[in-house]
Structure 1
């Protein structure tokens, strides 16, 4: 059964739609209000609906899929290549309509639980950044009064009570009270971050996939939950190599005339997940008693940071293999190509 391709440029209040009516051949490019959007597709024959993978796209994709339509989410940079000249809603909808008919790798539609876990990760990331800003701000203000503390959270936690006690005799009380309030704010952020991590652990207990990849060395609570949530559907990736490339842990390529040049990692995909994988790989190299012969041999001939990224790439491939083949992690497992 051939599905009618439809391009939809989603927005907050108005959705722009573009398709060609099969019966009349008329080109339809019109806006639809948000409240009438699902109603419009409720009684239509199944369509191939294309949308950019942006804010709200996963919600609409889930709703349209329930109605029997096939939804294809595409990266915005892929759609951009089909937008010629003017940039407006009508042109964007037409570009999406053109793009959805091309062979390409779609973005996996995430479940509500996966999106909820990503929301926890983003909230925690903002809180950690704000906590760092608070600590650095306190350190900078106290430096103006001759109180210099060491770098790092442990150093300022140990020194701040004595520092505030010393400056209390010579600084206005209003400033001392404000500094104490700011330091208490850091403790409140610690508690909020800890609560978010406890909620992540609760999901880990109930999710089989998260528990499976948590056995991989270097994959902790944050990496496991973020990987499962961001991946969406493991079947969206054909191999572990493709998943590692999606994360951005493969060399960037340039070349012409049949010659290919390899550079540093591409840094495509989500920066947050790539950072977690690299930090996990660094932890393995730092703390593991027996990292393994593969790592030991590579350390002899490559710089440390190159080894870390290579191990992060291997971790990403292992995550895909464990989830795709639905079997537990086995240390020292060697894959064999089929005969």
Structure 2
């Protein structure tokens, strides 16, 4: 079935729609208010709706899918290449319409449950960032008075009671009390982070896919839940190599005249999941018995960071293989092409 391509530039209140009528060949580029947006597509024949994968796109994608339309979410970087004129809503909608018709790997449309899991990950990541900022701020403020401590949280908790007691004779009470409150606030952040991890753990116990890939060395609670929620349907990827490339765990290429040079990893795709997989690969390398002979041999001829990325690539491909083929992890399993 041939679907009419429609480019949609979503916004907060007014949406811009661009498409070409297949019967009259009329170019339509009009603004639609938010309260009439779904009604605009309610009585139409099924069409291919393209949107940038930005805030709110997942919600509208689910609504359009319920109506029988096909939805293609695209990274904004891919759409930007088609905007050759001024930056405005009509030009953006036209660029999205053009990008929708070009073959490319779309961003997976996630269920509300998957998006809820990713929301927990984002909030946890933000809390960890706040905690790190608070620790560094306390260390910096105390260094102004000649008190220097280690970088770790353990070093801070061990040293700060004595430091505050020593500085209480030199500094105003209002500053000492404020520093003590800021230090005590770290415990509250710890409780919030632990609470989110407990909720993720509870969801993982009920999700078969998470339990399956959690058996892979280097895949823990955060990696398993984030990978399953971000991937969506594993069969949307043709191979584990495509999934690893989608995460940016493959070399970037540059070249001309038939000579191609491989650079560092492309860093495309989801930064958060890629970071978790790389940290997981680094943890595996700390335990040689879990790394396996392949990693040990690779480490003899390649730099340490290259080995980490290579192992993260292998973990990503293993995740896809288990979920796409509905298999259990086996350490001694050897993949082979059919004869």
Deviations 1:249-283 (A, max 9, x none): 11110011111101111111122111111111111
Q: Give 2:142's aligned residue.
A: 142
SS at match of 2:114: helix
The aligned length equals 339
Superposition deviation, residue 288 in structure 1: 4.3
Matched, 1:273 2:265: no
How much has 1:289 moved relative to structure 2? 2.8
Equivalence for 2:284: 284
Contact 2:217 2:290 in 1 (8 A): no
Q: Which residue of 1 aligns with 2:174?
A: 174
**Which residue number corresponds to residue 12 of structure 2?**
12
Aligned partners of 1:132 and 1:42: how far apart in 2? 48
In 2, the alpha carbon distance for the partners of 1:144 and 1:52 equals 47
CA distance in 2, matches of 1:16, 1:65: 19
Query: Runs ≥4 in structure 1, deviation > 6 angstroms?
Result: none
Matched position secondary structure for 2:291: coil
Q: Which residue of 1 aligns with 2:76?
A: 76
Partner Cα distance (1:260, 1:249) in 2: 18
5+ unaligned residues in a row in structure 1: which ranges? none
Aligned residue in 2 for 1:260: 260
Q: How many angstroms apart in 2 are the aligned matches of 1:146 and 1:94?
A: 60
| Aligned counterparts, 1:76-155, within 5 A | 76-155=76-155
Q: Is the 8 A contact 2:284 2:290 kept in 1?
A: no
Instruction: Give the alignment's Cα RMSD to 1 decimal.
Output: 1.2
The TM-score normalised by the length of structure 1 is 0.97
Distance in 2 separating the partners of 1:107 and 1:28: 26
| 1:1-339 alignment runs, 5 A limit | 1-339=1-339
**1:169 offset after TM fit, Å?**
2.4
1:128·1:193 contact (CA, 8 Å) conserved in 2? yes
Q: Deviation of residue 81 (structure 1)? A: 2.2
Name structure 2 gaps, 5 residues minimum. none
Q: 1:147 & 1:78 partners in 2: Cα distance?
A: 50
Between 150-159 and 59-68, the greater mean CA deviation after superposition: 150-159
Q: Partner of 1:289: helix, strand, or coil?
A: helix
Mapped to 1, the partners of 2:288 and 2:228 lie a distance apart of 24
Describe the shift of the 1:49–1:290 C-alpha distance in structure 2 as closer, same or farther (beyond 3 A).
Answer: closer
Q: What is the TM-score of this pair, normalised by structure 2? A: 0.97
Mapped to 2, the partners of 1:241 and 1:298 lie a distance apart of 19
Query: Aligned-pair distance for 1:110?
Result: 0.8
User: Displacement of 1:191 after TM fit?
Assistant: 0.6
Note if contact 1:107-1:236 (Cα within 8 Å) is conserved in structure 2: no
Distance of 1:268 and 1:88 partners within structure 2: 26
Equivalent position SS for 2:86:
coil
Contact 2:281 2:312 in 1 (8 A): yes
User: Alpha-carbon deviation of 1:165?
Assistant: 1.7
